[in-house]
Each structure stands twice: as structure tokens, then as C-alpha cells.
Structure 1
Amino acid sequence: MKLLDSRYGGLLLLAAGLLLLPWLAGNAYLLDVANRIAINAIIAVGLNLLIGYAGQISLGHAGFLGLGAYASAILCGSYDWPAWLALLSAAAGVALLAFLVARPILRLKGHYLAMATLGLGMIVSLVLSNESALTGGPDGMAVPGLVLFGWEPQGERAWYWIFATLLLLAIWLAQNLIDSPLGRALRAVHGSEVAARVAGVDTTACKVQVFVISAVFAAIAGSLSAHYTGFVTPGQASFLHSVELVTMVVIGGMASTYGAVLGAALMTLLPQLLSGLEDYEMLVFGLILMVSMIVLPQGLLPGLRGWLQTRRAA
């Protein structure tokens, strides 16, 4: 675990694992699961900055994912925009929306903040479902393939390298932000917003910045996942999906970047592993999550790290 504690040790370890994974995965199905884990991990890393470090809950984060996905789908499918321009425009549009709503929403605290972000996510989901002429309505819409300067990734393996690279970049950006003055300010806000304000921290600006950053992470992941799957539906922006994203951060370990990655991997893999249980799948899934949080209340990665340190001390 010492390697994971160093600034870039964990990143190098993860990069080595990602390099080996395509050769260990025996078929396209396993690579597809790995791609979906990477998509969720990118979103969870960004959301962890907001929840784990700044202490601001968001129950509507899937809305930003859905907006990113539909922006790319509409701009590429209906208006024939280049994929790279649609992706950048989606990220910029989501960043602007997040900036506009962040200041009034982040004035709230506790369950009031949770309800406000829940309302935001529900509005996005309803708009995507009801604007049938633009979004295809509840049935969703097809998304053209990703073409970047004449190159189009074909198959799960090609997409794997895209998602793996973006995941490493997301982690690197998150780690650098955590070690920056903004990251230290966010930890101060999480500890005591009043004390941080007295110490001279512009708490409102810090919270707005991290809200926008986490939204952009989700939008980019949403855009790429739309091109990868070739189809989008309003379900991607649903409340249940937002809860899943928050659960990834919490169960992996809040204020732990690699914990968020681990939580995303667990939450993506478990339904695949339990699919054979049929009627008992959700029962066992819920039981595993409940036991995990009882045994390791700080999250999987911090809990395992603490357990190993205790064993060494003994």
C-alpha cells in the first residue's frame, strides 16, 4: 500500500495493470466490461472531488452524463458535426450549465443540497424524455461512430485504449488538483466551511470550481460512452444512475481517488458476476454492499489500507 500512498506510484501501478489487461482478457465481452468500468471510474474520480474532498453531495450527477451523451448524439447525428468538435462543445456546454446552477445550489447544505441536486437531475432527465423531436424521447436515439481526424476505433480493444488513457489522465488531473491550493482549500471547506472562510478561503468560488470540474468529467465520459455504445437513452440521466455513481464513491472510499476507481470497478462488475442468480441477483447485490459498508465503513480502499497497517503494527 505504500506505493499507492506516493503521488504517482499508484498511477504507475494502475498503468501497468491497464497495459496487461487486454492480454489477460480472453474475449471481447471482458474488454467491454473493462471499458464500462473505465467510463464509470472517470465519472467517479470527478465526483469524488466534489463529494469526498469538498464535502458537497450531488444526487443529480447523471444529468451531466446524459447531457454530454445527448449533445454528442445530436450534434453528430442531426447536424453532422465532427466528433471531436461535438465532444468539446458538449463539455463546454455542460461546464457553462454547471457554473450557472452551482452558485445558487451550493449555497445550500446537507439534505437541502441533496434535494436541489436531485431536482436538477430530474429536470434534465424529464427534458431528455419529453423533447422527442430532438432526443428521440423515451426510446432514445442512435449515435454515429467516433471519427477523430479520419480514424475510427473499431472493436472493444481499440476503445479500451481510449478509455484507459482517459482514465489515467483523469486520475493524474485529480491528483494534481488535490495537491494544488484549490485542493487544500477544498479540504478546508470539507472540514469547516466557517473556519475556511475566516482563514481567507473563498469557499463559494472553490465549491463552484469543483462542481464544474466534476460535471465536465461526467460530460466527457458521457459523450465517449455514447459513441462507444452507439445509442443513448434518458435512463443514463436517471436518479437511479446518479445514486449508483454516488455509491461508487462512497463504497470505494471518499477522499480516495483510487478508492473511487475501485468502487466503480466493484459496482460495474458485481451485476455481471451475479447475473446467473436471476431472481436473487438484487438481493445478493444489496447484501454485499451492506456487509461491505458495515465491515469497512470508511470504504474499501481506506479500510483495507488501515487493516494492513494494523496487521503490520501487530
Structure 2
Amino acid sequence: MALSSFRLHGIFTLRSPLSHIGETISASSHLAQDQILQPDGELTPVFAYSGNAWRGQLRDLSAAYMLDAIGSPRVGLDAFHLLFSGGAIGGAQNTDIAQARRMRAAMPHLAVFGGGVGNQILEGKLRVGSSYPICQEAIPVLPPRLHDEARKFAYADCTFEKEYSRRDDAKIESVRRHLNDDPEMTLLDAPKKGKKTAATDDVPTQMRIRSELVCPGVRLYSWITVHDVSLEQMGCLIAALHSFSRSPHIGGQASRGHGLVDVAYEFEDLSSGEVHDLIKIEDGRSLLAPKAVEAKAAYDEHLRNLYDQLLANNEDSIKTLLGAA
């Protein structure tokens, strides 16, 4: 089967503030930053959404997509770590390397993302760069076609600070009736007769937290390079991006609504130089270009064949490789 190498050029458009903490001092958290060398020779700190964080998120989505497609088997602990976190290097050799290689040959997920088994690395085919805001100070690391847009924005205008307070629910009368003031009582115990209760009214539990965030509306440039992949392996990556649309959040504090994004990736064939749209995620909907549809369909067919093997072959099946129950 013909192999291809390609690069995906992506844009994250923030629909809510983005939190990606690099340092915490007391009750204040600060954004992760890289030092970027400017044309005048100065080093300038600029926000960077870690390529490792994005790669890890895609790995989790890809592993879950694959396991769901082959009947959601409950895998062994070693296989779980290999699929979802890349395994581990060093220590005792708990996983059979030959078995891991068979898993990689059978599973595009491991071919694309790779993993560590014992003291050996099964190298993946994916390279993921950090994402930078399209602003003046990031121009040295942005592709030329984005330089005109970047000149319109200073990095100082791309971030802001926000304070949060954690309220003391024990002081709110509408819910305080559910509070058990006796520290020795269990959840279902009745109050003990004659026992004094704790004086919770004097215990301050409210605090304020300050977070540095990237502003909604900011656009981040992102890239992914994949070398020597089959159509099914390309489809593995597309399936992970497609799954991302179910909860399109990056960074931290998604429970507060942070990190909501739209995403658009262009495909660049590294052999022919051909460039075209590949996938867009807008308002939580995934829109696949024809090439992406073709690749995902090939991968889905591959997973259906794996599932058929699980049902038909009890001796040399993917389920056996996974140590699944």
C-alpha cells in the first residue's frame, strides 16, 4: 500500500478564555510561555499551547475510538497505559515486546502515536508542534501567509487576568439546612444528645484566585506532521480529530467553560505540495473534506475487520494481544 507524508496546518479560534498554566504562585496562575527570538535579537515570552498536551489529547481520543469500535473490551493495565499514555520506559519488562510489535502492526493507533514498552520505544509517526497566538511577537515561528494578520495584534492584547472567588456555601441559608455541624457524625448518623456542635460560623473558607487567560477570539496556529502513513493510519488521526468535536475544549478548566474552540486544518502533501481543506470543527460539528472522509472510511473498515477477527478467532486475535477481558 502506498505511503504518504503530510503536514496539517491548523487554526484554533478561541470561543472562550483559554487556561494553560505554566506557573502557579500563591493563588495566582500564569500562562505557559516560550521565549521567541525577535528580529532585533531580543527574547520575548509568548504564550504556547503545548504540542505534547494536544498530542496527548488526540491519543486519548484515538484509543477510545478504537476500543469502542472493536466492542469496548476491558484491556489489561499494561495495554491500557500503552494505548492511552504511551506506556513506560525502564523498569521490569512486564509487556512482551514481540506482542507489542504485533499490536502496532495490527493497530494504526500504535503506528501513529507509538509507545514505550520495557526499555524499548515503539516510535510513532506523529509530530505535533506547540500552538502560538497569531500576533506580532510570534511572527518568527508563524508561516509567512499569517504574517500580515499577525502584525495587527500585539501579544499584550491577547491575554488578560481574571479573578474568581469560591463562595462559602455553609454561610448560605438556603443550603445550610443540609449541613451537619457535628464533625464526629457520619452521613446518616442522627445528632448525639448533649453533644456540642462545631462552630462553623467562625471558619473562613472563602478565597480568591487569579488566573491569566488567553482572550476569546484569539487565533492560534498549530501544525501536525505525519510521515510514511497508510490511508488507514491517516484515517486514525482523522477519527481522533472527529471525536474531538464532541467536546471541543483545549487547555484546563473546561468545567468553567474555558478552552472552547473552533478548529480548521488544511492538508499539505509533502511530496506534491498539494494543499486543500481537510477538517473543520465549528460549533461542535465536524465537517470532513472528501479526502478526510475517504481516510476515515478506510480506518473504520479496518476496525470492522479487527472486530470480526475478535469474534472469529479466539487464539490469535487482537483481543488476545490486548490482554482484554
Normalization by structure 1: what TM-score? 0.24
Q: Please identify which structure carries the higher helix content.
A: 1
Larger gyration radius, structure 1 or structure 2:
2
**Which is richer in strand?**
2
Q: Please, what TM-score do these two structures have when normalized by structure 2?
A: 0.24
